[in-house]
Amino acid sequence: MAECVYRHTAPDGRMYIGIAQEPATVRWANGKGYKDNPEFWKCICEVGWGAIKHEILVSGIDSWEARKIESDLIDLYDTLAPNGFNRCRDNPEINRVKHKKEVGRTYGFATVLNYWADHDGMKKYEMRCACGRVFRCRWEEITDDLSCDKCCRA
Ligand SMILES: [Zn+2]
């Protein structure tokens, strides 16, 4: 079953990152899907569902990938309460392996110099390879033996 990662943005800038089986509008239920989230529900009642921006950030992915991305974006956009409407992470298993501070972390032969979210909401990395080359890659391209692919790594 295909899932998606979505974002709701309230007029005051607070965000909620979530995942759902497609179509996400079933999960959202025009806002009624968040009755169990007191802060978000309060906001929905105050401003109205129509005043909140709804975006599908990534679609057509499997559940595991969706949860990975969700956890990553909760960090990236800092949407945990009280900054945002996310109350907790849904996937403790992922949280164990996620690192909030990624700069300086190494993946294979590469060290993270910088990372940011692109317009599509996906995380991009600038890395320095052990050979000295600086390159960019997408978050989902990172592997345990990452390198710039131009050097003769072992
Ligand atoms: Zn290299």
Backbone angles phi, psi at 133, to 5 degrees: -70, 140
Token pair recorded at residue 102:
């990624």
**Average pLDDT for the chain:** 85
Task: With respect to residue 112, please indicate whether it lies within any of the assigned structural domains.
Answer: yes
103 CA from centroid of ligand 1 (Å): 18
52 CA from centroid of ligand 1 (Å): 45
Task: Say yes or no: 54 and 23 in one domain.
Answer: yes
Its domain, for residue 105, covers 96-141
User: pTM to 2 decimals?
Assistant: 0.60
End position of a domain, from candidates 44, 77, 110: 77
- At residue 17, what is the residue type? I
105 CA from centroid of ligand 1 (Å): 16
121 CA from centroid of ligand 1 (Å): 27
Element (H, E) at 76: helix 63-76
116 CA from centroid of ligand 1 (Å): 22
With a pLDDT cut of 90, the percent of the chain lying above it is 49
Tens of pLDDT, residues 56-90: 999 999 887 888 888 888 888 989 888 999 986 55
Tens of pLDDT, residues 34-58: 998 999 999 999 999 999 999 999 9
Query: What is the pairing mode between strands 110-117 and 106-107?
Result: antiparallel
65 CA from centroid of ligand 1 (Å): 28
